[in-house]
Amino acid sequence: MNTTVINVKNISKSFGKIRALRDLSFSVEAGSCFGFLGPNGAGKTTAMKIIYGKCTRDKNSTDHMDIFGYDPAKNELAIKYLSGVVQQEDNLDDELNVAQNLMIYSKFYNMPVKDAGERIEFLLDFFELSDKAKSKIRELSGGMKRRLVIARALLNSPKLLILDEPTTGLDPQVRHLIWDKIRQLQKQHTTVLLTTHYMEEAFQLCDRLLIMHKGRKIMEGKPADLLVQNIEQYVLEILDTDLIRAECRDISQGNIRIENAPGVMRYYCNDVNALKDFAACCMESGNYMIRQTNLEDVFLHATGRQLDDKQ
């Protein structure tokens, strides 16, 4: 049932002295959503670009790439033909209207005009853009442009959909609409590769998640498993560290782990009651929050809280 459609082993990429990818390996099953999570400059986009032939990987005899049976270094056209790509920029043709933008791309896939017309009508409806079919690109909101770019990637009914930060900069309504559409596509057995730095997006959409940092894979797994395996279940966050009683600072309480970031103290623990007790005895007032840990905690724990020079 679960066939592997993408198999990547030990690929690397350097831009001059910068090593954008180092021995990256992963595999993706048909119809699943595979996510790449990482800070800016981690190599997520480079990995995507190597898959659809916009980047070439470093020559290396031990590496291996199989994307639906094709190697991008040898068969870029075949891979591009069966994939839809949503890049970070909304690179639409401003001179043309919404439907014409899609029509131009249908020619790239050699779709017969009639089929293209029907497909465009369907996709505009799918993304709730039907009444904008004749609108100029300039008149569209950011969310509409984004939906149109995704619709464009779906013209040729791709087996593989590559989404490079599909919802960056969008409002929550549009984001949820796009998530919903991606889930619908997955039900129709479209394989999805997604990069994001929104933890919620990764959690909502991805069957498997690969966290990258500085061109390397640092962990991979199901989102829920990553949480369980890599971080305590609860965290106590104290934003105003001055409120912590002096005698409580830096005191390790049993199984509580302390993380001291500028301006914030975080106390991690699997036992929520231990955190409650700790907060009750250390804090003057109720100026703290106890919550479940999420992917962001895993992510920051794994990639560090400091910015590096690429961010």
Nearer to another protein, 95 or 277 (CB): 95
Nearer to another protein, 19 or 54 (CB): 54
Q: What's the order of all strands across the beta sheet hosting 64-67? A: 18-29, 4-15, 64-67
Asked if 113 interacts with another protein (CB under 8 A), we say no
Identify the CA nearest to 86 among candidates 14, 133, 149. 149
Asked if 179 interacts with another protein (CB under 8 A), we say no
- Strand 64-67 and strand 264-269: the pairing is unpaired
Q: Do the beta carbons of residue 227 and residue 37 sit within 8 Å?
A: no
Binding residues among 1-40 for another protein as defined by CB under 8 A: 3-5, 7, 15
Binding residues among 146-165 for another protein as defined by CB under 8 A: 152-153
Q: Do the beta carbons of residue 35 and residue 194 sit within 8 Å?
A: yes
Place of tokens 């790239």: 108
- Binding segment for another protein (CB under 8 A), chosen from 100-108, 113-121, 140-148, 298-306, is 100-108
- Binding segment for another protein (CB under 8 A), chosen from 34-42, 106-114, 125-133, 303-311, is 106-114
Please, what is the minimum distance in Å from the beta carbon of residue 139 to another protein?
Answer: 15
Q: Where are the alpha helices (DSSP H) in 154-222?
A: 172-187, 199-205
Asked if 300 interacts with another protein (CB under 8 A), we say no
Nearer to another protein, 23 or 76 (CB): 76
Give Cβ neighbours of residue 41 (< 8 Å, ≥ 6 apart).
214, 308, 310, 311
- Binds another protein (CB under 8 A): choice among 100, 130, 168, 270: 100
Please, what is the minimum distance in Å from the beta carbon of residue 30 to another protein?
Answer: 10
Asked if 93 interacts with another protein (CB under 8 A), we say yes
- Binds another protein (CB under 8 A): choice among 29, 109, 168, 257: 109
Please, what is the minimum distance in Å from the beta carbon of residue 137 to another protein?
Answer: 11
- Binding segment for another protein (CB under 8 A), chosen from 79-87, 120-128, 197-205, 280-288, is 79-87
Give Cβ neighbours of residue 103 (< 8 Å, ≥ 6 apart).
116, 120
Beta-bridge partner residues of 235: 268, 291
13 is written with which tokens?
Answer: 């990429």
191 is written with which tokens?
Answer: 């394989």
Q: Do the beta carbons of residue 13 and residue 46 sit within 8 Å?
A: yes
Greatest CA separation for the chain: 76
Residues that bind another protein (CB under 8 A): 3-5, 7, 15, 52-56, 66, 68-70, 76-78, 80-85, 87, 89, 91-96, 100, 104-105, 107-110, 152-153
